[in-house]
Structure formats: C-alpha cells, structure tokens
Structure 1
Amino acid sequence: MAGRGVVPEDYPPPVNSPAEFIKTSLDGEEDRIDIGVTIVGGGTAGLACANRLLQLLADDPDLMESLGEVPVAIVEKAKTCGGHNLSGAVMRPGPLEELFPEASREEWRTEGFAFGEVEKEAIYILPNGKRAIRIPPPPPQHNKGNEVVSVAALCRYMQRQAEEAGAYVLTETSASQLIVEDGAVKGVRSGDKGRDRDGEPLGNFEPGTDIASKATVLAEGCWGHLTGAAIREFDLAKGAEPQVWELGVKEVWKVPKPLDRVIHTLAGWPLKIPAKYHQIGGSWIYPMKDEQTGDDLVSIGFVVDLDYADATTSCHDLLQQFKTHPMVRKILEGGERVSWGAKAIPAGGYWAMPKLSMPGAVLVGDAGGMVNLAALKGVHYAIKSGMLAAESIYASLKKGEQSYGNYEDAVEDSIIAKDLYEQRNTRQPFALGLIRGGPIVNLMIATKGRFPGGRWKLHRNDAQPMFIGKTKNGYPKPDGKYIFDKLSSVFITGNATRDDAPNHIRVQKNVPREIAETWQWMCPAGVYEIPEDAPEEGLVDVTVNYTNCVQCGAITAKGGRLTTPEGGDGPLYQNT
C-alpha cells in the first residue's frame, strides 16, 4: 500500500454481511406472520407504493382477499413514519398530485407538510465570508412552481392515507434480515427488541419474527441494511459504478420576518477551493410559512460531498460557519432554532443505479439511487418509483408471478431515468477539483450530458486518502443561541436510543489518527470520540458513543458500517 496515504477502506468494519443480513429459510406457518406485500421503510417511496397498491386493490376485491388478512404492511423502524426522514426540500409536485388527485395544494398546506409555491429564487456563489455574487440558476435548478415541503410531515400525511386505505403500519420495528429461499426473496425478519448492550435479553425481551410475503419492497432510503444485502446477494450492482454519497445537515428556524424566495449557494465559501481538499458542496435556505400556526419558518442546510480528503471536514460545523455570513445573518437573526437533523444522500446518479428488481422484491426511491444531483431533487422520484413498483407488483400478483422486470422497464421509460440520464456525468468531473471540474460540469449540464460524452467513472468515498488539514480552523465557537454544538443539536431531535441498547455501529476501534479524525469530525451527532491522551500520530483508539446516533449513514461512506438498530431508536424528526 506504499504511496496510498491513509485510506478508510484499508480499515474495514467487522461485519459479516451475508451471515448477518440474509436468512436462508422461512420459519413454519405457526411461527411466522403472513402478509400479502411487505414494504420495508415508511418514507415517501414506500408510502407511495402502499397507497398506489391499495388504490389498485380497492378495485379488485378478489385479489385483495387472496392476499390475506393483511394485504399490505409497512415495516418502519422509527416511532412514526417520517421520524427518520429529512430533506430540504423543494419538491416537484407532479407525482404527489398524480397519487392523490383529489387533494389540492391548499389542502397540502392545511395538512401541515407543504409551505407554499416557489415564486422567486436566487443562486449565489460566496467568494468569502463577506460577499455574495448572484448568478443565473442552471436550467436543472429552476424551481418556479415547485412546492416547499417537510418530508417528515409529508410521510405522516401519507401514512394516514395508507392506513385509511387498509395498510397495516408496524412502527418501531426494524427489519434485520432479508429472507432468501430457493433464489427468491420470501420476506423479512423483524429485529429483536429488549437486548442489553452485550446482546443479552432483558426482562422485556421480544424476539424477532419472520414476515412472509408474496412481494417485498425495499424502501429503506439511504444506506438500507437489507438493500445492501440484496444488492450483494443478487449481484444487482453488476456493471454499475460504485454509489457515492453526500451528507446534509439541516436546521429549521422560526424567524421574525418572512423570506420571499428560495436561495441556494454553490461551492465556494466556507469550503476550501484547492483541489487537494476535494471539497464540493453547497447550501439551501427555503421559506416555510406554517399555515397551521401562522409562524414564518426557514429551512437552512449545508451539504458536503463525502469524497473530501481533509479529515477535519464537518458538515455540521460548516453549516454553523455558513450562518455567520452577512447574507444569512440578515435572514436568521432575531429568530430561534426549532429543529435540526442530518442525513446522507446517494449522489452517484444514473451510472450508479443498481438493478431495481430481483425474484420476489424491488428497490424504490433512495434505495435505488434515484437522486438528481444537478437539480437537487429526489422526493418526487421516490414517490413516482413507489407508484411504478405498486403497479408492477399488482400486475405480477394478477398473473401469480414474482418477477418484476416490468418495473425496471417502467422506471427506464419514466421521468426518473430520463432526468437522471441527462445529468449522468455531472458529479464525476468534481474529482478534478472545482477550478478544473466546474467548467466541465457546466458543459455537461448545458448539453444534457452529450458533451463531453461517454461514461465517466466514479470512485468509492472510502478510497479517498485522508490528511489532517485546516478546515476546522474556520469553525465558529458555539454560543448556544445562534451557533450550536453537535450534542445540543442531537438533543432537540427527540433521539430515543436507550443507554443500554446494543451497539448498531461497526468500526475498527484502533486506527490511524487520520481515520479517527475523519470519523470524529464527519459525524454530525458526536458519536466518535478520540480520547484526550491519544497520541498525535500513529494508531489511536476510538470511543463510540452510539446512543447519540441519528442514523444519518455517513459512517458507511468513510470506512464504518451502520447496521440494524433496535426498532424505535434514533431521532423523531417533526418538520425536517
């Protein structure tokens, strides 16, 4: 490994993926639960699938009856659907309008998940911590007519619609294993509950249960445990580029005066421009008028590509630094922070999408990598993919089949693949740095990927050599009023992880200082800690404060692994 530098992938986590996440036989009928269609994940993709499938089944009572007492169930590890969901988000409304055609956009706002149609927008480059240069929005980022939403609140709305239509929602329930028998997915096994930190049963212990299904939908979002197992088991990523990731940290503020436009910044300050830092990212500021309370809210967030090389890069602290810019202070000062959260984002685009179906199961939404980096969009693709999956499953159930290749064809023929293909090479040139890569990206966007053409390679985030740089020198000191530390931020998420819960995070505990610093700075929740007496060079021990974890998934991009937590653990996001 001479000349490689210190690379996270050289320190892999202690995980035995096939043995841990794949169960090779289904329990007998007396020891399992039989469900028609099981959807793993109560995010926008999974809930769209449930709602659309129940719409189709409502007109087909014979098929509905054949699926048993529970035709459709959603397995959700959070305390409620939306509890682990976070996005900006400015959503293209089409797929949601298609799913619920009788609900007007005014009704969306009354329901509390939508905050107004975009009328004005502005994009800036920040050359430093004082100035802001406005630029024309690139074509993919035109947002006029789109809707500002809270994805967490949208999921709760979609959960209510699904339950009214007949879905059974199993909240606080993790899916710990994918059941694969005779080359096909037969269902999932729910995770145990009530074990202590050493894995021993407590007095309230509840063992997991096999959930047998005629069709399984993996809608786990980013870094799904069973999604990863399925991709490996069925070789779904064969021929695809490796998936790469970004990390977003978000705050919601109650502000004294309304914001009249959506704002984005691209690259530039507070990121480091020199290519050696490999820092790419940007920010958003969105107006949120709460029709229920009358409050003026603002969604503000910062996103960092996880391909960075400086171990001291911290998305949470970059957001705090971004807030010191005069343009941002003018919007937030006099206000109050009311929410915080963090989530990783699949950023590989079209070339990194895995095969979306396997015998007995499909992937939808972020699990299938359906995010358009150039347009900063993913929510409407998730909804559309869930609907297409439902239609494919319905057609296959009618035929008595478990093959869903028609779902892949439908995605390829839809706006999902069309949009992602046009932006297929807009992420990769940034590996050359902002100065060299930026103009190439502009050409890619202007020509919809035709020039420079071809297929540009992606490289795993954990293959990036790390060094201890100077990004941390710019982070402001927390004051608890405008600038916040990580632990106080985790506190307001409603994180409910038990202090004696089993550790769901896998990392090597004795690693080079560069790797330890990477994990410590990267984690927005302060999970990884380097002891004060650790050596400045060489190997150091890492303390894992796993009960802080908000399950953002970033650690899996940089050499660790987030595994299945106990159901009900983690944050309880409200308006993120």
Structure 2
Amino acid sequence: MAEIEREAMEYDVVIVGAGPAGLSAAIRLKQLDADLDVVVLEKGSEVGAHILSGAVLDPCGLDALMPDWKEKGAPLNVAVKDDNFYMLGEAGQIRIPNAPMPPLMNNHGNYIVSMGNVCRWMAEQAEELGVEIFPGMACSELVYGDKGEVKGVVAGVFGLEEDGSYGPNTEPGMELHGKYVFLSEGVRGSLSKEVIAKYGLADGKEVQKYGLGMKEIWEIDPAKHKEGSVTHTMGWPLNSNAGGGSFIYHLDNNQVYVGFVVHLNYKNPHLYPYMEFQRFKHHPMVAELLKGGKRVAYGARAITEGGYQSMPKLTFPGGALLGCAAGMVNVPRIKGNHNAMLSGKAAAESAYAAIQAGRASDELTGYEDDVRDGPIGKDLKMVRNVKPMWSKWGLTASLALGGFDMWTNNLFGLSLFGTLGHGKNDAEATEPAEKHKTIDYPKPDGVLSFDRLTNVSFAATNHEESQPCHLHLGNKDTPISVNLPKYDEPAQRYCPAGVYEVVEKDGKAEFVINFQNCVHCKTCDIKDPSQNINWTTPQGGDGPNYPNM
C-alpha cells in the first residue's frame, strides 16, 4: 500500500470503536484536559448500530466515570426488581434458590438497559466535551512508526475493487495518527488480533474462550410483563451437548429481551446454535410468556469468556487494548460492560499522565497495572475457575464447585483450585463428525421460532455488494476438501446469520459465502475447525443496524 497517498490528521489519542470502553476513554480524557485532541472512529452507521449486549448493567463503571449520570439523563430506567434462576428440563423447570449464591451474583442495584442506547447517550456526553466522533468509518489498517510502534490507523476506505485492489473510484481513506491508539473494537477485532499476534501479547496466557450470544426483542402481552424481572436458565435444550444458557429480561414498554448463549467449545460439529435458541423458546415456561407477542429485533455476537487467565498483555508500543478487545467479561455474572467502562477510564488516565510527562508512542504500563490490580482484576479473579470447571466437568459439577470456589474467593480471597487452565481453543475443541450423532431440529413454526434468514432481516444488516468479501479464506479449497468430509462443514450451522452454505453445482459441492448477511459476530473466525476464515472489517457503515440492543 506504499504507493497510496493519504491525508493524515494528528490527534493526541485515536480510539477505534464507540462502545462502552472507547467512549469511556474519550470522556475521561476530556474530563482530565479539555484541550486534548481526541477522536473516536466507529464502523457502524451510527453509534450503537453494532452494539448488542444482554444487558443487565452494573452501574459501577458509570459511577466512576460520571457520578452525576442520573442527572445527565442516562438511559438506565429499569432497575432490577427480582432475580430468578432455573434449571430446565424439556417439559418443566426447577427453581434454583438465590440464598446459596455468592453475593456477586446478586443483581440488586443493577439496571436492565439497551447498551446501544447507553452508548448513544455516552456519545452525546463525549461530543459535549469536545470529542470528535466519526461513525461509518471502518479502521482497516494499522499505521506503524519507524520503531515498530503503532502510530495510527487507516480509516474511511471506500469503493475497493471486487478483488480488493484500488481502482479509479476508490476513496483511499485517511491516516489518523495519535500519541496513543486505543483499540476498543469489541470481541475478536481485526486490528486487535493483529497487535496481539505482532507483539506476542498472548504469550504465556491461557487461550481465549468464547460464546455465541443471540438475542431477540419481543413485545409481549402487558398482562405477562413484569418490569425489572431478570431470569436466567441452564440445562435444556443444550443439556450435555454444549455449555450455555438463556436470559430473559423484562424492560419497559412491555418489551422483553430473550437471549441465548452457546459456549463455542462444543465438540459435536452437528450442533446448530441458532436452532438451539429457537427450540428454547418452545419450552412451556418461555412459550407461555411469548404467546400473543411479536419479535421486533434480532442479532448475534460473540462473547469473550476466557476471563482473568486469558486476558492478553494489554499494552503495546503506542497503544492499548480496552474492554472486550482484551476479554473482560465476568462469565457467571454475564456482565462485561462495567469492566469495559472501567478499562476505558483507566487507559485514559494512564495516557493523560504520559502526555503530561511529554511521552508518546510508548507502553502505558500504568494502565496494565491498574487493570490487573484494580477493580477489574478483582472482579475477574474471583470467578476465574467457573468457565474451566464447566468445560472440564460439566454443568452440575461446575454449579457446585464453581459456587464453592466463588465463595472462598469472596470470603478469603483465595481458591483451593488455584487458577485452572482452559486447554484447547474453541476451534480445536471441534471433533470429527463421525464421532457424533446428527441432531434433528424441529422446523420453526413462524410464531415462536423463525428460520435464520427471516430473523436476519430483523437485524437490518446491509453490505454494499460490489465491495470485496470481508470474510477471507486462507485456502479456498479447505471448506470442501477438509471441513466437509471431516466435520460436515460446521460453518453451515455455527453462523447465526446464514452466511455460509454448501450447495451442489454441476454435481460438485461448492462453498458459498453470502457476506451480505453478516452481522459481525466473528463466530466463524473463532470456531472454524481449520482456522481458515479471517474476519476483516467491511467498508464503514455496513453491517447490522440494531435499534435498541
């Protein structure tokens, strides 16, 4: 790309991604020094367009960042009123009592929110402070300095030729340089992957683990609506096929968030996460709640689940990883947004101190220490063994042992298990198809359950079709020559948006990529057993357009 000439703009801090981490960093920088030049680049068509989360929000991150968030009108309007935990069987359920659960599992004081709307509000606060925010600006490349440090990003490339080359109608974008560059792209971001590999940030750490979260918004019968009610379930329909569970959150306006998470370390390549979600809604308890209602939105995204022992080194020459780009989700709590906000605040404070001292483009070691030794590290360390226990010993054992481990961490600050490892990554966990039975999934009824492509239309995803496919195959033959015979090509099933198909053409199997359907969940980049798919960002403004996720 050396022959491409681009205009360059200089900033103090360049932030990639307008999620809770990136926006918190931007706000904190301007709180500390109104004269700092701060820019936030967002690939979605607007702030919030690509934000999908449960979400029950622990407000501790907002409390630390903006103690007056209530007075400023933050959209935290539905306080959690009751917590329910159920173990499901196919036809019934058993309530798990709240009393034996460690205090960290209590949702008292938390809020049911749309994180998309929280981020929209945060962007307004940032802009009032003077932060420049540019939505529809995908960051496709990193810019490196003479000493190998990250110097900036390339953003706003449009109109590439179908083969990825620059043509007469290509807008080459521009370079945005910063004294520091914050990567807050969320899960499995393409630039974050690059710096983790380039600087060996994951060396000596456990492999990162992931889940696939799928979510629908439903408008339900007002008589069944219980504003502030939070329900989590485990067990059916996944049972022993995979780890995971569901969430049902009653927000305002007779709306309910219905979500389903499948841990991506499942072994059986015949498993179809999307159809497990659709089947879940036919459980009597759920079906009764949704009966007479209507689905109004759908979306999906991966979730980082590796926790404390899988967080890579957070700093590199010239920048830092924030929030879910590093993996700060507390898995048993199903919460990461509070830690994302806290990480943005910590990164901002470290960068501010460095800039005040006349530094630039070095490593913000103070940020690393703040995360590891501060509230984020404490939050994640207490629950670090729950995920590996679930993976190694299954749901029942992990409930008992994980609960015990969280209690000892909570009471005594120690674990009798030490720190458990995760073993294989999620791609390696996939076993050959011949070792497993196929799974017969009921056909969606169009009332409670829906076919995948119909539901994807409720994500309002869109991609300019003339651009190059942003889903790159390392070897174009691998899907048919390796994945199909060995794994029954699981991309047909693990993608929650129907991007990948195996079709017959002229008597031969052919692998088809419908990249227009992509909702940017990154599951393919994580779960492909041959690690042959590389998710990269399409041009800015493309992808889902989530309303209130």
TM-score (norm 2): 0.90
Change (3 A) 1:81 1:453: same
- Structure 1 spans left out of the alignment, 5+ residues: 1-22, 59-63, 290-294
SS of the residue corresponding to residue 427 of structure 1 reads helix
Give the 5 Å matches for 1:7-406.
Answer: 31-58=7-34, 64=35, 67=36, 71-104=37-70, 107-108=73-74, 113-126=75-88, 128-137=89-98, 138-139=101-102, 140-181=104-145, 182-199=147-164, 204-257=169-222, 258-273=225-240, 277=241, 279-289=242-252, 295-402=253-360, 403-406=363-366
- Contact 1:26/1:210, CA 8 A, preserved across alignment: no
Could you tell me which of 401, 406, 411 is aligned with 1:445?
406
- Structure 2 spans left out of the alignment, 5+ residues: none
Structure 1 residue 574 and structure 2 residue 534: aligned? no
| Cα offset, 1:204, TM superposition | 4.7
CA distance in 2, matches of 1:51, 1:419: 23
Q: Summarize deviations over 1:440-497 as a string: whole Å, max 9, x none.
A: 3333223226122244343211111324445641x33223332111111111212121
| Cα offset, 1:200, TM superposition | 5.0
| Cα offset, 1:199, TM superposition | 2.8
| Cα offset, 1:237, TM superposition | 1.1
- Contact 1:122/1:261, CA 8 A, preserved across alignment: no
1:526 maps to which residue? 498
| Cα offset, 1:217, TM superposition | 0.6
CA distance in 2, matches of 1:526, 1:224: 21
| Cα offset, 1:358, TM superposition | 1.6
Q: Summarize deviations over 1:168-213 as a string: whole Å, max 9, x none.
A: 1121111111222203211111252112433355675211222111
Aligned alpha-carbon RMSD (Å): 2.3
CA distance in 2, matches of 1:470, 1:430: 22
SS of the residue corresponding to residue 95 of structure 2 reads strand
CA distance in 2, matches of 1:532, 1:524: 22
CA distance in 1, matches of 2:168, 2:457: 28
Q: Summarize deviations over 1:539-569 as a string: whole Å, max 9, x none.
A: 9532111111001011111132211211111
Structure 1 residue 542 and structure 2 residue 506: aligned? no
- Contact 2:218/2:290, CA 8 A, preserved across alignment: yes
Identify the range of structure 1 (445-454 vs 360-369) with the bigger mean alpha-carbon deviation.
445-454
The AA in structure 2 aligned to 1:219 is: S
Q: Summarize deviations over 1:314-373 as a string: whole Å, max 9, x none.
A: 222111111101111121111111111000001000000011112210111001111111
SS of the residue corresponding to residue 333 of structure 2 reads coil
CA distance in 1, matches of 2:306, 2:444: 34
Structure 1 residue 423 and structure 2 residue 394: aligned? no
Give the 5 Å matches for 1:554-569.
Answer: 554-559=523-528, 560-569=533-542
CA distance in 1, matches of 2:68, 2:419: 43
- Contact 1:312/1:522, CA 8 A, preserved across alignment: no
CA distance in 2, matches of 1:471, 1:399: 61
Give the 5 Å matches for 1:382-531.
Answer: 382-402=340-360, 403-432=363-392, 433-448=394-409, 450-468=415-433, 469-470=436-437, 472-473=439-440, 475-507=441-473, 508-510=478-480, 511-513=482-484, 514-531=486-503
CA distance in 2, matches of 1:271, 1:44: 31
- Contact 2:80/2:230, CA 8 A, preserved across alignment: no
Change (3 A) 1:44 1:214: same
Identify the range of structure 1 (132-141 vs 359-368) with the bigger mean alpha-carbon deviation.
132-141
The AA in structure 2 aligned to 1:52 is: R
- Contact 2:154/2:173, CA 8 A, preserved across alignment: yes
SS of the residue corresponding to residue 134 of structure 1 reads strand
CA distance in 2, matches of 1:471, 1:172: 42
Percent identity reads 38
SS of the residue corresponding to residue 480 of structure 1 reads coil
Identify the range of structure 1 (308-317 vs 326-335) with the bigger mean alpha-carbon deviation.
308-317
The AA in structure 2 aligned to 1:405 is: T
Q: Summarize deviations over 1:500-549 as a string: whole Å, max 9, x none.
A: 221011234433325453111110000010115799xxx95321111110
- Contact 1:50/1:162, CA 8 A, preserved across alignment: yes
1:4 maps to which residue? none
Identify the range of structure 1 (219-228 vs 230-239) with the bigger mean alpha-carbon deviation.
230-239
| Cα offset, 1:429, TM superposition | 1.9
TM-score (norm 1): 0.86
CA distance in 1, matches of 2:71, 2:261: 28
User: How many pairs does the alignment contain?
Assistant: 524
The AA in structure 2 aligned to 1:283 is: S
Q: Summarize deviations over 1:238-286 as a string: whole Å, max 9, x none.
A: 211111110000000111122245444443100032xxx4x10000000
- Contact 1:516/1:542, CA 8 A, preserved across alignment: no
